[in-house]
Amino acid sequence: MVKPRVLILRVAGTNCDNETEWAFRLAGAEPERVHINRIKRGEKKICDYQALVIPGGFSYGDDISAGKVLVNEIKHNMGEDIDRFTGEKKPLIGICNGFQVLVKAGLLPWQGKQVVSLGWNDSARFEDRWVYLKTEKNASPFLKGFPSVIKLPVAHAEGKFTVDSGTTLKKIEDGKLVFFRYCSPDGGDAEYPHNPNGSAGAIAGLTSANGLIVGMMPHPERALLKCFYPDANEGGDGEEDGYGCRFFRNIVEYIK
């Protein structure tokens, strides 16, 4: 079988594209890092790929607010293509800065007007460490085989999940659109430092109703192998793979 093609979008300030590329190679895909200018010039088309990923980093220096400049570039240059891409039920993944882009572009929690955002951490500083995450029940096939609590690293200054109203938060919860939730080591409610940014509902990631658009603040591409973990026993059930690798393998398996 031909390996699934994955487009990893990069711009000035993207800095997790190489790790994401390696993650998909380990998972059995054929990833390609593509600068947005090549798409704007028509040299590359997202319709030629089976998955689209917006990786972590600080796109355009996070000027104005995290991811906002990239959001405007995507809306003006790729908006219709992305609508067509997601309409064909192809995975769209946003990690950290990519998650910020997806929510500010109105692609999560549902496509349309922006109703949630990611802002400055309550600690008013960059939070960079491993956190515990509760894997929520939702429609996404990308959590297949995950236990109820895992550990992944975060690295962000603007990761606080906020909503425009309590009604929106209830709609997210009722619709089972939470992908990951910050938690304590035993899976209980999380306060700082387990909730590293003060997110509403301790939400660390979202998924669309069909489970194929996923955004998260944690970095699965930094948890690919057990040896990456502070405690190797927390890295997963496989001989070498960490939970990060399992996430990327699930994406590839879905495409196949």
The yes-or-no verdict on residue 44 having pLDDT over 60 is: yes
Cβ contacts of 32 within 8 Å, gap of 6 or more: 5, 6, 7, 8, 21, 49
pLDDT at 245: 95
What pTM was computed for the model? 0.95
pLDDT averaged over every residue in the chain: 95
221 annotated active-site: yes
From 16, 221, 234, 245, the catalytic residue? 221
pLDDT at 53: 98
Which region holds residue 67: left if phi is over 0, alpha if psi is between -120 and 50, else beta? left
43 annotated active-site: no
Question: Above pLDDT 90, what percent of the chain?
Answer: 91
Going through 136-227 in order, the beta strands assigned E by DSSP cover 149-156, 160-163, 178-182, 203-207, 213-216
From 16, 19, 158, 219, the catalytic residue? 219
**Average pLDDT score over residue span 168-177:** 98
Instruction: Give the model confidence (pLDDT) of 208-240 as tens digits.
Output: 999 999 999 999 999 999 888 988 666 555 557
The yes-or-no verdict on residue 147 having pLDDT over 70 is: yes
The C-alpha atoms of residue 140 and residue 151 are separated, in whole angstroms, by: 19
**Average pLDDT score over residue span 183-208:** 97
The C-alpha atoms of residue 236 and residue 225 are separated, in whole angstroms, by: 9
Distances (CA, A) of 213 to 112, 190, 205, 234: 13, 25, 11, 27
The yes-or-no verdict on residue 96 having pLDDT over 80 is: yes
CB 149 within 8 A of CB 135: yes
pLDDT at 234: 64
Q: Residue 200 — φ and ψ, nearest 5°?
A: -60, 130
pLDDT at 62: 86
Under CATH, what is the fold of the domain 5-255? Answer: Rossmann fold (3.40.50)
pLDDT at 235: 59
pLDDT at 198: 98
From 96, 136, 156, 158, the catalytic residue? 96
Instruction: Give the model confidence (pLDDT) of 55-90 as tens digits.
Output: 999 999 988 888 999 999 999 999 999 999 999 999
96 annotated active-site: yes
Q: For residue 35, what are its two tokens?
A: 């600068």
The C-alpha atoms of residue 8 and residue 59 are separated, in whole angstroms, by: 13
Among 33-47, 176-190, 218-232, where is mean pLDDT lowest? 218-232
Helix (H) or strand (E) holding 22: helix 17-26
**Average pLDDT score over residue span 198-207:** 98
The C-alpha atoms of residue 99 and residue 93 are separated, in whole angstroms, by: 8
Write down the domain spans for the chain.
5-255
Dihedral sign from CA coordinates of 124, 188, 101, 8: positive
pLDDT at 64: 81
